[in-house]
C-alpha cells in the first residue's frame, strides 16, 4: 500500500476517535467474535440429559472424529466437501479466468453487456439457483433432456440429482454455474489494471493474444488468482444453502451430498428422530473453523508471501 498511514495524533481528539470506533467494534465483537469464541468454548462442554453443562475436555471431538456412529458421517462430509472444492478449483476458476481474459481483449465490442449477463447468476440466491436447476434436471419436466437433444447428447441424460454416484458432482456443477461470476469479476478487474503499454509491448515483441495472456497478463494477476482460490475454499467449506434447498438436511441420497455445512446443521438442530445437540454442533463448527483457518493460514504464509505484487 502506498499511503503513509494515519497522520493525526488522536490525543487531540480522544472523544471523537472513541465515538467513531466504538459502535462498529461493539456490534462486531458481540455478534461475530464472541459467538465464534464461545462456540469453541461450548465444544468443550456437554449437557447430560436433565443436567447442567459440564466441562468434558476433548470428549466431543473424540466423538465426532472417532466414534463409530459419528466418524463415518464426519469424514464422509469432509471428503465430499473436498470434492466440492476440487470441482470449483478445477472448473469454476479456470472458466472464470478464461472468460475474464477474453473480456479483457483489446477492442472487444459489447464487453460490458457480456460481463453484465455472465455475472447475473451470481446475484441470485443460492436457494433459487438450486430450485431452478432442480426443475431443469427433473426427469418429470424433461426440459434438460430436450436441451441435451439440441447438441445430440440426449442419451446421456439421467436423474443425476437423484443418483448416489452423480448427485454431488451435479450439485458442484450447479454451484460452479452460479459462482463463476466471482473469479470472473475479480480477475477481470485485476486484468484491467495492467497498463495497455505492457500488452502493446508484448504484441510488438511478437506475442499472439493468447501468448500475451499466458506469459504477461496471467503471471501479473496471479496474486488475485490466489486470493480467488482462498475465497473459493472458505466459501466451499462454509456452503450449506444449495444442498439444503435441493436435497434437504439429510443431504441424500444416502448422505452422498452431505458436506460440512449440512452436517453442522443436522448436528446442531437435529433431524427426524435425532435431537439436536448444541455442544456437538459447536464441535463440528469448531472443526470447520480449524479447516478454514488452516486454509487461510496456508494462503497467508505459504502462498501470499511468495507472490510479489508487481507495481504496474
Partner 1 sequence: MSFKNIRREDASRAVIVHGILLTYTLVALYPIFLVVINAFKTRKAIFRDPMGFPNAETFSLEGFTKVLAKSNFEVFFYNSFTVTVITIAIVLLLAAMAAWALSEYKFPGNTVLALYLAIGIMVPIRLGSVSILNLIVDLGLINTLTALVLVYVAQGLPLAIFILTEFMHQIPKDLKEAARCDGVGEFKIFFAVILPLIRPAVATVAVFTMIPIWNDLWFPLILAPGDGKQTITLGVQQFIGQYVTDWNAVLASLSLAIIPILILYLIFSRQLIRGLTSGAVK
Partner 2 sequence: MADLKLDQIHKSYGAVDVLHGIDLDVKDGEFVVFVGPSGCGKSTLLRIIAGLEDITSGDLMIDGDLVNTKSPRDRGIAMVFQSYALYPHMTVYKNMAFGLKLDKQDKAAIDARVREAARILQLDQLLDRRPSELSGGQRQRVAIGRAIVRQPKVFLFDEPLSNLDAALRVQTRLEIAKLHQELKSTIVYVTHDQVEAMTLADKIVVMNGGNVEQVGSPMQLYHHPQTRFVAGFIGSPAMNFTNVRIDKVEPGKVTVSIPGGTPSVLPFDVDQNELGKQVELGIRPEHLSLGDGGELTVHGEVDVVEKLGDSTYLYLKLANGDHVTVRAPGHSRVKIGETVTASASAGAAHLFNGNGKAFAKVDCPAEYSADE
Identify residues 163-222 at the interface with partner 2 (CB under 8 A).
195, 197-198, 200-207, 211, 215-216, 219-220
**Least CB distance to partner 2 at residue 185 (A):** 23
C-alpha Rg value of the chain to the nearest Å: 24
On the 0-12 / 13-18 / 19+ scale of CB atoms within 10 A, 112 is exposed
Q: Which does 136 bind (CB under 5 to 8 A by kind): partner 1, partner 2, none?
A: partner 1
The reply on whether position 28 binds partner 1 by CB under 8 A is yes
User: What angle separates helix 126-136 from helix 167-179, to the nearest 10 degrees?
Assistant: 130
Beta bridge partners of 54: 46
Residue with cell 478449483: 89
**Least CB distance to partner 2 at residue 229 (A):** 19
Pick the closest to residue 115 from 196, 217, 179, 185 (CA basis): 185
The reply on whether position 311 binds partner 2 by CB under 8 A is yes
CB atoms within 10 A of CB 280: 21
The reply on whether position 78 binds partner 1 by CB under 8 A is no
Is 168 or 285 the residue whose CB approaches partner 1 more closely? 285
Provide the grid cell at 249: 438436511
Q: Which does 97 bind (CB under 5 to 8 A by kind): partner 2, partner 1, none?
A: none
**Contacts made by residues 52-58, CB under 8 angstroms, sequence distance 24+:** 53/279
SS3 assignment, position 46: strand
Q: For partner 1, which residue of 71, 91, 169, 209 counts as binding (CB under 8 A)?
A: 209
Is 208 or 254 the residue whose CB approaches partner 2 more closely? 208
Say if CB 171 and CB 257 are below 8 A apart.
Answer: yes
How far apart, in whole angstroms, are the C-alpha atoms of residue 6 and residue 4? 7
Q: For partner 1, which residue of 296, 298, 301, 310 counts as binding (CB under 8 A)?
A: 296
The reply on whether position 303 binds partner 2 by CB under 8 A is no
Determine phi and psi for 45, rounding to 5 degrees: -120, 165
Considering only residues 109 through 128, tell me which ones interact with partner 1, judged by CB under 8 A. Answer: 110, 112, 114-121, 123-128
| Binding letters toward partner 1, positions 242-281, x by CB under 8 A | --xx---------------x--x---xx--------x--x
Is 202 or 239 the residue whose CB approaches partner 2 more closely? 202
**Least CB distance to partner 2 at residue 190 (A):** 14
Q: Is the bond leading into 253 cis (omega within 30 degrees of zero)? A: yes
CA-based max dimension of the chain: 78
Pick the closest to residue 220 from 196, 202, 193 (CA basis): 193
Considering only residues 131 through 160, tell me which ones interact with partner 1, judged by CB under 8 A. Answer: 131-133, 135-136, 141-143, 146-147
Is 39 or 73 the residue whose CB approaches partner 1 more closely? 39
Is 165 or 274 the residue whose CB approaches partner 1 more closely? 274
The reply on whether position 225 binds partner 1 by CB under 8 A is no
CA atoms within 13 A on the CB side of 263: 30
Q: For partner 1, which residue of 82, 91, 198, 230 counts as binding (CB under 8 A)?
A: 230
Site of interaction with partner 2 (CB under 8 A): 195, 197-198, 200-207, 211, 215-216, 219-220, 308, 310-312
Amino acid at each position: 500500500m502506498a499511503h503513509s498511514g494515519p497522520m493525526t495524533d488522536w490525543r487531540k481528539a480522544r472523544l471523537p476517535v472513541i465515538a467513531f470506533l466504538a459502535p462498529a467494534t461493539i456490534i462486531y465483537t458481540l455478534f461475530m467474535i464472541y459467538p465464534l469464541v464461545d462456540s469453541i468454548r461450548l465444544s468443550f462442554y456437554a449437557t447430560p440429559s436433565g443436567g447442567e453443562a459440564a466441562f468434558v475436555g476433548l470428549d466431543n471431538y473424540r466423538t465426532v472424529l472417532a466414534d463409530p456412529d459419528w466418524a463415518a458421517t464426519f469424514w464422509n462430509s469432509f471428503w465430499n466437501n473436498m470434492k466440492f472444492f476440487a470441482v470449483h478449483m478445477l472448473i469454476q476458476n479456470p472458466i472464470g479466468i478464461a472468460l475474464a481474459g477474453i473480456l479483457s481483449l483489446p477492442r472487444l465490442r459489447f464487453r460490458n453487456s457480456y460481463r453484465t449477463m455472465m455475472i447475473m447468476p451470481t446475484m441470485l440466491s443460492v436457494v433459487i439457483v438450486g430450485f431452478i436447476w432442480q426443475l431443469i434436471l427433473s426427469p418429470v419436466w424433461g426440459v434438460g433432456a430436450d436441451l441435451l437433444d439440441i447438441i445430440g447428447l440426449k442419451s446421456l441424460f439421467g436423474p443425476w440429482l437423484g443418483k448416489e454416484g452423480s448427485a454431488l458432482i451435479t450439485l458442484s456443477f450447479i454451484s460452479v454455474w452460479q459462482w463463476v461470476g466471482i473469479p470472473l469479476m475479480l480477475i477481470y478487474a485485476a486484468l484491467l489494471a495492467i497498463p495497455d503499454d505492457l500488452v502493446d509491448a508484448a504484441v510488438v515483441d511478437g506475442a499472439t493474444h493468447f501468448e500475451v495472456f499466458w506469459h504477461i497478463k496471467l503471471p501479473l494477476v496471479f496474486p488475485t488468482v490466489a486470493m480467488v482460490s482462498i475465497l473459493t475454499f472458505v466459501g466451499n467449506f462454509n456452503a450449506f444453502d444449495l444442498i439444503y434447498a435441493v436435497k434437504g438436511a439429510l443431504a441424500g441420497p444416502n448422505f452422498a451430498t452431505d458436506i460440512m455445512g449440512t452436517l453442522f446443521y443436522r448436528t446442531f438442530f437435529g433431524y427426524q428422530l435425532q435431537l439436536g445437540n448444541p455442544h456437538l454442533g459447536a464441535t463440528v463448527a469448531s472443526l470447520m473453523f480449524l479447516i478454514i483457518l488452516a486454509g487461510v493460514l496456508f494462503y497467508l504464509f505459504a502462498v501470499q508471501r511468495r507472490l510479489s505484487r508487481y507495481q504496474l
